[in-house]
């Protein structure tokens, strides 16, 4: 059966137009300063997602990384890959607001270029494997069509702690 036949009208609409920041925040628990995607431009259910991160000089890490030469930390670029993948996968879980996806592994991470203020990262994530509680994702990040980072990430789904 073709995956597109399984997509609800709401998911089809999202696939066609993507998600804005409000819709992303409805899926992800991350908030400032750790929400690292601004928009989703493409989604293919259980297969692929493309997200955008606009990098500004106002990011909280730039004053210390590095003074006089602001460079986005590579670990945060990989985190953006994981967050984009989480947006895609958490929508597959009916009770996604009660779940979190946590890193279990990062493989073959390579950083090809620096990401600096003014850059727009295009984060492309493909699902390599997905089960109800675990996933493996292949991510590539581009700035102006130049590859800046690639990594394979693994994650495990857990229950989100309830507020006290």
Strand ranges, E, within the chain? 39-44, 48-54, 99-111, 120-130, 134-143, 146-159
Joined together, the tokens standing for residue 19 give 């998600």
**Is there a catalytic annotation at residue 65?**
yes
Phi-psi label, residue 108: left if phi above 0, alpha if psi -120 to 50, beta otherwise: left
85: DSSP letter: H
Q: Which residues, at least 6 apart from 15, have a Cβ–Cβ distance to it below 8 Å? A: 7, 42, 43, 44, 45
Catalytic residue among 14, 30, 65, 96: 65
Residue 48 near residue 124, CB atoms below 8 Å: yes
List active site positions: 65
């Amino acid at each position: 059966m073709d995956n597109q036949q399984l997509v609800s009208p709401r998911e089809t609409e999202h696939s066609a137009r993507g998600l804005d920041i409000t819709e992303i925040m409805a899926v992800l628990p991350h908030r400032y300063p750790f929400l690292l995607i601004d928009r989703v431009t493409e989604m293919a259910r259980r297969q692929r997602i493309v997200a955008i991160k606009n990098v500004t000089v106002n990011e909280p890490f730039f004053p210390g990384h590095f003074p006089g030469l602001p460079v986005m930390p590579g670990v945060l670029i990989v985190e953006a890959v994981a967050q984009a993948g989480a947006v895609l996968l958490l929508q597959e879980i009916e009770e996604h607001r009660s779940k979190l996806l946590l890193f279990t592994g990062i493989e073959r991470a390579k950083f090809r270029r620096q990401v600096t203020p003014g850059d727009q990262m295009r984060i492309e994530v493909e699902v390599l494997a997905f089960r109800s509680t675990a996933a493996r994702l292949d991510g590539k990040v581009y700035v102006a069509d130049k590859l800046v980072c690639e990594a394979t990430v693994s994650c495990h789904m857990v229950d989100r702690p309830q507020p006290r």
